Amino acid sequence: MFLTMMKRSVSRGWRKKALAVLTVALGTSLAVATLNIAMDVGDKVNRELKSYGANILVTPQVEKLEDGDFSPMGGGQSFLPEDRIPQLKMIFWKHNIIGFAPYLKSEAALPGGEKVIITGTWFRQLLVIPTGETVTTGVRDIKSWWQAEGDWPDFGTNEAMVGEKLAGKLSLKPGDFLVIVLSGKKYELKIRGVLSSSGEEDEQVLVNLAWLQAATESKGKISSIEVSALTMPRNDLARKAELIGPDNLSRDEFETWYCSPFIDSVIYQIEEVIPGAWARPIRQITDSEGAILSRIQALMSLLSLAAAVISVLSISSLMGATALERSREIGLLKALGAHNSSVIRLFLVEACFIGVIGGIIGLWAGFGLGTFIGQSIFGTSISFKPLAIPAAFAVSAGVALLGSLSAARMISQLQPARILVGSLANG
Amino acid sequence: MGAGSGKLIEIKGLWKTYGTVHALKNVNLSVKTGEWVSIMGPSGSGKTTLLNIIGCMDTPTQGHIILDGTDLSSLDQRQLTEIRRDKIGLIFQQFHLIPHLTALENVMIAQYYHSMADKAEALEALGRVGLRNRANHMPGQLSGGEQQRVCIARALINYPRLVLADEPTGNLDEVNEKIVVKLLEELHMEGHTIIIVTHDPWVGSLGDYQVYLEHGSIKSTVEATGT
Amino acid sequence: MDRHWFLLRLIALTFARRRSRVAIAFTAITIGVAIVSGLANVYLDVGQKMTRELRAYGANLVLSPAFPEKDPYLFLAQIAEIQKKLPPDQLIGYAPYLYGDASVGSRSVLLAGTNFEQVKKTSPYWKITGSTGAPVGEHPAVVGETVAKRLGIKAGDRVTLTATASKVDVTVIGIVSTGGKEDDLILVDLDVAGELLQKPGMANAVYLSIAATPAQLDSVTQELQGQFPALTASPIRQISQAEGQILRRIESLVLFAVAIILVLTLLCLAITMMNAVMERRLEIGLKKALGRQDIEIAAEFMIEGAVLGLAGGILGWGLGLLVAQGIGQSVFHSSIAVRLPVLLLAVALATGLAVVAAFVPARFASRIRPAIVLKGE
Ligand SMILES: Nc1ncnc2c1ncn2[C@@H]1O[C@H](COP(=O)(O)OP(=O)(O)OP(=O)(O)O)[C@@H](O)[C@H]1O
Ligand SMILES: [Mg+2]
């Protein structure tokens, strides 16, 4: 009997039901879209924030000097081994390492006797990882704000970039040659471009790392590495690890910490693979990043919440209206002896039907919408988050049920006598 | 008695078809001003359809109805609505009062639509149907008979030339039936033209004549014998 | 005119007596408008808010002498003048730096003089460990992590800094770790450094943190450049360029989300309002039977819609302010500016929507056949 009534009730107001399905579908799709974006926005914005530059600096460990002079400029007592760089792409969070560049700094003399800092680095270089993968990275990738007038030096040549200020001082332009003296020997560098970095590099000469290593007889040695890694904002565990040191965490906590892309755990893993390295966060980047990320995620979560509230609201009014419209029928059912619960059950089953159908449609539409939005804002598609499926189902079922609550309340308050009097009263 | 001067309604060759159902088949009828006509016949014979077409609520498929000198088939919806407002009073079997308005307001809304709401006049009309003291009650608080009387008060508030009633006593008990019939008789005495659809032989016999419909055609017309 | 008072009374009665149904529509309008106007407020403010948030990245403009070969110093008097030129609500902080060589014992170090108060504002990311206050009457110093490791300096130590002609005792109040050039510096107060290096009242550069969009920052730069030809103002592109990009992305993200919710809300409202009128088709049929013209019935419903929309719009706007403040407080820890145009938008939106939603069924009134509707089912 219940089934027959269900069937009739479904076939009766099919337009209204279609409208309800449409509303749930719309609500769900929008909630799913915002939810999906909210889930992925961290990743997306994280990548965007990488345009601020590298967030990890790796240098050789410093030891306390017992005696002798220490000049921060002359420095360079210890080095890192260049052949360990590929290891960066083999740590646990290797996919989060999105770029890096090694540096070797030295002091050169200009023909006039003036001192100038010469930096050897990778401009953009192909690197083969022992696992067989290849990566292309270098300063051009991690310093997106660097601009070159002219061109960038080719790999394996004696071509150089000259900082904008230095170029101004010496009136150099791309295509010119620059003579420098490095550890007593004279070299001629071909200037490929003039670099504008709005930083200290504007007063330096940049050359290929291999060239500088050869010239200074420091093959395989580098003085620092800048790493650009995707990390997640610090949480309580991360702060605890920072406070007491990761090695003092309990086993489980350490496991969790190690397997979360916190800046500190990525740093820990880098230090593991590069012997003698001291990796540390570039706080200007990492700290700000965390703040910005959590803001944006909070904002997006609130927006998803708003979308869900609106969905509940629309279903609620729709179901409420349906119940009102059918109050005559409900009154009759109750007059015939139906319990509140059985009438409400009729409505709830209906609501579930609507919720499930609308939810399925909305889920797909939502993914489509999310992808579209991701595509148009970030230029890359929003990755499919499996967690969004149960979330979407929860949302649509919740929306439909919560939305039917007002209808259910109305049904139980309805007095059959009042409904059956006067035919317009059902209007 | 009651036979007025001119013809108020003249129906010629009227057909009404719903898809394949012929609700009315070639109906010819004329009603003079001041007459009381009872329309009778078995269920589904087309009584309501005929009344709706006379009442400008429906349009014929074929044929002509001339109401008070105007051919309804030449009018558009707007003009039909005006005629309904100015010349016709409707009484329904299901009363059809607006549920969120009081009896008085239900009468006044018809007044307002016609010309101007006038509370005193509306109260007087309710007084006439014996409901002056129930004026501020909602339809839900009135019995079926009382609701029907409000409906009558609403129908006569604008002094319509033609009163159309579709089974006005169908939902009422004997006592209320008598009250309603008495009201209709009074209206008739005042010169209103009345067309009433009914299944009740006694109510039908009160008319000047009775029109019997069967399968959409007029089977017979019977002059009143009694009162 | 007198005649139409009755209509207004009728509408008032309709509201008063159909409370539960009116409440559904009213709630829908109110919540809908609250969310939309709240989000609109947030959207209009998000750029400004994020601009401030992004100041966490530190200084975005640096002032340095225009001709460093001739005169490598800026004068503090000049800096004070510049500071006055900048709008105070946009200037987050300004930190002057004076660099020079000094030595600790036999080891040479890089010394920087600055203003610690301002550094907190221009470089909020500095992590200073072991921070203790300097005892009264002593000069505080902050030592970079690398230097501290090399020289074995800890917070609380007293260090004697020597330069060509003079020496000064400082107390190390903390070790700074930034992962940047500060790690190689010993930082002291500008006055102390000025005296030690014999450059009193001078600085090599001033770092400014200005809450401004990249375009605004460019115009500030040009203005300063024009007014003070003796110095070069240059945006720190690492910061300003990335900022522009991030801001654009975030703004469009929020815009999308707000647009989605707006569409959803409008649809939901339209459905609710249409329902509210549709369920009254018997009433429409009866009114038609009583001789009311279609457009007159439409007008009745539209007036109802307008009243409902107006009230719901205003109340919704008020609630929307709460929504906006809620978001502002929980996301940005600051309040969202109240914008009057949003009120107008909210009211216009709600009223327009309610009227249009009433218009659709009213148009549908012309298709209602009173004979059929009144027949019952
Ligand atoms: N809207 C419609 N669509 C299709 N058929 C209709 C419609 N309205 C009426 N009919 C048909 O037209 C015929 C006449 O109907 P009508 O309502 O006039 O009968 P009636 O004489 O008033 O019957 P009752 O005494 O039961 O009220 C019936 O067969 C009915 O099924
Ligand atoms: Mg009938």
Helices (H), B8-136: 47-54, 77-87, 103-114, 119-128
Is C99 in the same domain as C199? yes
Q: Which residues contact A244 (CB under 8 A, 6 or more apart)?
A: none
pLDDT at A69: 47
Alpha carbon A194 to its chain's center:
33
Total residue count of chain C as it appears in this document: 377
Contacts of A421 in chain B (CB under 8 A): 139-140
Domain count, chain C: 2
What is the full DSSP assignment across C90-118?
A: TEEEEEEEEEEEEEETTEEEEEEEE-HHH
Angle between helix axes A283-325 and A340-378 (nearest 10 degrees) is: 140
Nearest chain A residue (CA) to C333? A295
Say whether both C28 and C128 belong to one domain.
Answer: no
Q: How far is the CA of B3 from the centre of ligand 2 (A)?
A: 27
- DSSP lists the bridge partners of residue A262 as A232
Residue C126 covered by a domain: yes
What is the Å distance from ligand 2's center to A10 Cα? 29
Cβ atoms B139, B147 nearer than 8 A: yes
Residue C31 and residue C79 in one domain: no
Tokens of A330: 């409900």
d(CA A382, CA A36): 8
Q: Is residue C168 part of a domain?
A: yes
Question: CA-based Rg of chain B, rounded to a whole angstrom?
Answer: 17
Residue A49 CA to residue A285 CA, distance in Å, equals 8
Using the beta-carbon criterion (under 8 Å), do A377 and C256 form an inter-chain contact?
yes
- Residue with the bigger pLDDT between A72 and B153: it is B153
Ligand nearest to the CA of B165: 2
What torsion do the CA atoms of A128, A81, C185, C224 make, to the nearest 10 degrees?
-20
What is the SS3 assignment for B217?
Answer: strand
DSSP B184-205: HHHHHHTT-EEEEE-S-HHHHH
Out of C178, C200, C235, pick the residue that ends a domain.
Answer: C235
Length of chain A: 427
Cα-to-centroid distance, C279 and ligand 1 (Å): 24
Rounded Cα–Cα distance for residues A144 and A321 (Å): 56
Please check whether residue A427 touches B, CB under 8 A.
yes
CB A276 within 8 A of CB A245: no
Which residue's CA lies nearest to atom 11 of ligand 1?
B23
User: Two tokens at A174?
Assistant: 């791309």
Among C328, C264, C315, C334, smallest CA distance to C41 is for: C328
- Residues touching ligand 1 (Cβ under 6 Å) are B 18, 21, 23, 43-49; C 372
Is C106 within 8 Å of A67 (Cβ atoms)?
yes
- Contact: B98, C286; criterion CB under 8 Å: yes
Full residue range of the structural domain in which residue C257 is found: 2-52+245-374
- What is the spatial distance between Cα B47 and Cα A13, in angstroms, rounded to a whole number? 30
Q: Which residue has the tokens 């509707």?
A: C373
Indicate which residue's Cα is closest to atom 28 of ligand 1: B44
Q: List, for residues B74-115, the tens digit of each pLDDT value.
A: 888 888 888 888 899 989 888 888 888 899 999 998 888 888
Which pLDDT score is estimated for A1?
A: 59
Would you say residue C305 has pLDDT above 60? yes
What type of residue sits at position A380? Answer: T
Is C83 found in the same domain as C231? yes
Phi then psi for residue B32, to 5 deg, are -90, 160
Compute the C-alpha angle B191/B123/B148, nearest 5°: 65
Each residue's pLDDT tens digit, A330-372: 766 666 666 777 777 777 777 777 777 887 888 788 878 777 8
Q: Which residue of C has its CA nearest to A199?
A: C236
pLDDT at C377: 41
A268-306 confidence digits (pLDDT tens): 999 999 988 889 888 877 777 777 777 877 887 787 777
Together in a domain, C198 and C275 = no
Quick check: is C32 in a domain? yes
Nearest to C210 by CA among C243, C252, C249: C243
Q: Are A322 and A403 in contact (CB under 8 A)?
A: no
Q: Confidence class of residue C249 from pLDDT cuts 50, 70 and 90?
A: confident
Q: How far is the CA of B197 from the centre of ligand 1 (A)?
A: 13
Pairing of strands A177-182, A185-196: antiparallel
Which H helix or E strand runs over A87? none
Any alpha helices (H) in chain C, and if so which ranges? 5-17, 19-53, 76-85, 116-122, 145-151, 190-196, 214-227, 237-278, 281-289, 294-327, 340-365, 370-374
Closest Cβ opposite residue C13 in set B86, B101, B117: B101
Query: From CA A408, how far away is CA B51, in angstroms rounded?
Result: 42
**Which of A75-79, A120-124, A252-256, C243-247 bottoms out in mean pLDDT, i.e. has the lowest?**
A75-79
Same domain for C108 and C224, yes or no, is yes
Task: Examine the domain organization and report whether C272 and C308 are in the same domain.
Answer: yes
Of the two residues A417 and C11, the one the predictor is more confident about is: C11
For residue C21, is it within any domain? yes
* Structure tokens, A308: 């869900």
Least confident of A309-318, C50-59, C97-106: A309-318
A68 touches chain B (CB under 8 A): no
pLDDT tens for B161-196 read: 999 999 888 888 888 889 889 989 998 998 899 999
pLDDT digits (tens, 9 = 90+) for A199-239: 888 889 999 999 999 988 888 899 999 999 888 878 888 88
Measured CA angle at A48 (ends A47, A53), to 5 deg: 85
The single residue listed with the structure tokens 């060589």 is C101
What pLDDT shows up at residue C108? 84
Residue A425: the pLDDT is: 38
Note whether C47 and C65 are same-domain residues.
Answer: no
DSSP summary character for residue A91:
S
**Nearest-5° Cα angle at B36, B35 to B37:** 110
pLDDT band for position B65 (cuts 50, 70, 90): very high
Look at residues A252, A228, A253 and name the one whose alpha carbon lies nearest to residue A93.
A228
Task: Give the pLDDT confidence of C87-109 residue by residue, as tens digits.
Answer: 888 888 889 999 988 888 878 88
Contacts of A234 (CB under 8 A, 6+ apart): A242, A262, A263, A264, A290
Task: Write the residue with the smallest CA distance to atom 31 of ligand 1.
Answer: B44
Residue that terminates a domain, selected from C235, C259, C282 = C235
Domain boundary among C169, C203, C235: C235
| C201 and C72 within one domain | yes
Distances (CA, A) of A345 to A117, A279, A389, B63: 80, 63, 26, 53
Euclidean distance between CA atoms C45 and C255, whole angstroms: 11
Ligand nearest to the CA of B44: 1
Tell me the HSE value of A320 on the side-chain side, using a 13 A CA sphere.
26
Residues 6+ apart with CB under 8 A from B33: B4, B5, B6, B7, B8, B161, B191, B193
C-alpha–C-alpha distance, residues C289 and C287, integer Å: 5
Residues C95 and C222 grouped into a single domain: yes
A27: left (phi over 0), alpha (psi -120 to 50) or beta: alpha
Check residues C12 and A122 and name the one with the higher pLDDT.
A122
Give the residue from A324, A327, A349 showing the smallest Cα distance to A416: A327
Q: Is residue C120 part of a domain?
A: yes
How big is the CA angle at A261 (ends A260 and A263), to the nearest 5 degrees?
125
The β-bridge partners of B30 are B10
Q: Is the dihedral of CA A70, A72, A73, A77 positive or negative?
A: positive
Judge whether residue C120 has pLDDT over 60.
yes
Per-residue pLDDT at A424: 42
The residue of C208, C271, C301 whose CB has the most chain A CBs within 10 angstroms, and thus the best one to mutate to test that interface, is: C271
Q: What is the DSSP letter of C330?
A: I
Cα dihedral angle (C185, C186, C192, C194), rounded to 10 degrees?
-20
Domain assignment present for C240: no
Find the CB nearest A427 among C107, C181, C283: C283
**For A89-144, what is each residue's pLDDT tens digit?**
888 888 888 899 999 999 899 888 888 999 999 999 899 888 888 999 999 988 88
Residue B11: pLDDT band by 50, 70, 90 thresholds? very high
**Portion of chain B with pLDDT greater than 70, in percent:** 96
- The pLDDT tens digits of the residues spanning C310-356 come to 888 899 889 888 888 888 888 778 888 888 888 888 888 888 877 87
pLDDT for the residue numbered B185: 92
Mean predicted lDDT score pLDDT of chain A: 79
| Backbone dihedral angles phi then psi of residue A362, each to the nearest 5 degrees | -65, -35
Task: Give residue for tokens 């670099």.
Answer: A195
Ranked by mean pLDDT, which of A27-36, C9-18, C137-146, C300-309 comes out on top? C137-146
Query: What are chain B's domains?
Result: 7-223 (3.40.50.300)
CA–CA dist A115, A112 (Å, integer): 9
User: Do the Cβ atoms of C331 and A52 come within 8 Å?
Assistant: no
- What pLDDT score does B93 carry? 83
Q: Which residues in B have their CB inside 8 Å of a CB on A?
A: 94-99, 139-140, 147
Instruction: Say if C76 falls within a structural domain.
Output: yes
Looking at the fold, whether C38 and C80 belong to one and the same domain comes out as no
Residue C89: count of CB within 10 angstroms of its CB: 7
- Same domain, yes or no: C286 and C213: no
What sign does the CA torsion over A394, A395, A401, A402 have? positive
The ligand placed nearest to the CA atom of residue B18 is 1
What is the distance between the alpha carbons of residues A305 and C318, in angstroms, rounded to a whole number? 19
Closest-CA distance of chain B to residue A27, Å: 33
Identify whether C324 is part of a domain: yes
Asked whether B3 and B35 are in contact (CB, 8 A), the reply is yes
In DSSP terms, C59 is beta-bridged to none
As a whole number of Å, the CA-based R_g of chain C is 33
